[in-house]
Amino acid sequence: MSGSTALKLALRLYPAAYREERADEIAAVYADASADGGALRELLGIAGYGLRVRTGLTSSRLPGQVAAKAAPLAAGAAAGMPLLVLLAAVHYLLRGTGGWADDPLRVVALAAAGLSVLGAAAAAAGWWAAARGLAALNVVGGVLAEVVGFAQLRGMELAGAMFVIVLGLPMLLWALVLFAAPTDLLPGRSLRGAVLVPASMLGGVVVTVGVRVGSGWLLAVALFPLLAVLGARRGRLFAAAVGVAALPAVVGQAADQLAVAAHGSRNLLGATAVAVVVAVVLTRLSRSAGAGAAAGTPAGPGAGAPPAGG
């Protein structure tokens, strides 16, 4: 594929109005990068930025601003339960309880928990590249290793493999929040980040446990999507961020309800309701962003074309 063809395909990711206004400028930047040997990186940056402009995940649009506020909360929430897993492992180790290291499932669970906690520490320190990398490694390595490896080692049936996917779904969604946040809006090393991330770890434990106790998940279905939508519509970005950061736990519970739907139609009905509510929330967030800015609005301060690497 020639460079011009690849550039045309990348530009197709931008909204038409943005593309018509800035295609020449972006092409000039790409030509300069190609002359310096950085064509592939620049092309990936152009394509990635096109997706951000189309979805509103830029620093000047509401979804991007909410995602940036939610990223520290998501990093902490994703590490809440894994931290308890690590503490439990240390407890059993100090008590001299043997055998846990011989169980591959526990080893992978501990490795995934460690990645989550390290990712939260990186986020608290403002090292977002490391936090994103650890989150991606956690999702790809942890979930795939469990689904593929333990399906073979333990003869796990499809239902068992699906249960593992259900457990990994919130981690995937929390990781997506980290990648959705515009890099230039993510907080650096600060006292606020050092306090916010550990606090959200505790909040993640409370939400994850709360949605699985009794009818707690029904309350969460009503509360957190409403918080995300109303917060975004009223310009309360932190409130919206709290709702967004809690959504993965709610979606995970919905998937859990689907996984056990065979035990009763009420579970299936409830899970379907959650899926509909979450879909509506995401749609409302996108529409509220579109109401405040046109698709052709520049996505960064003074930026006509995306920077290298997106």
Q: For 57-73, how does the pLDDT look when each residue is reduced to its tens digit (9 = 90+)?
A: 989 899 999 999 999 99
pLDDT of 266 reads 46
Q: Per-domain residue ranges for the chain?
A: 3-55, 62-292
Whole-number Cα distances in Å, 265 to 157, 172, 218, 221, 298: 23, 27, 16, 18, 48
pLDDT of 124 reads 92
Question: 79, 207 in Cβ contact below 8 A?
Answer: no
Cα 96 → chain centroid: 37
pLDDT of 302 reads 36
List of the chain residues with pLDDT < 50: 158, 262-268, 289-305, 307-310
pLDDT of 286 reads 53
pLDDT of 32 reads 81
Closest by CA to 295, choosing from 12, 19, 4, is: 19
Which tokens belong to 76?
């902490």
pLDDT of 297 reads 43
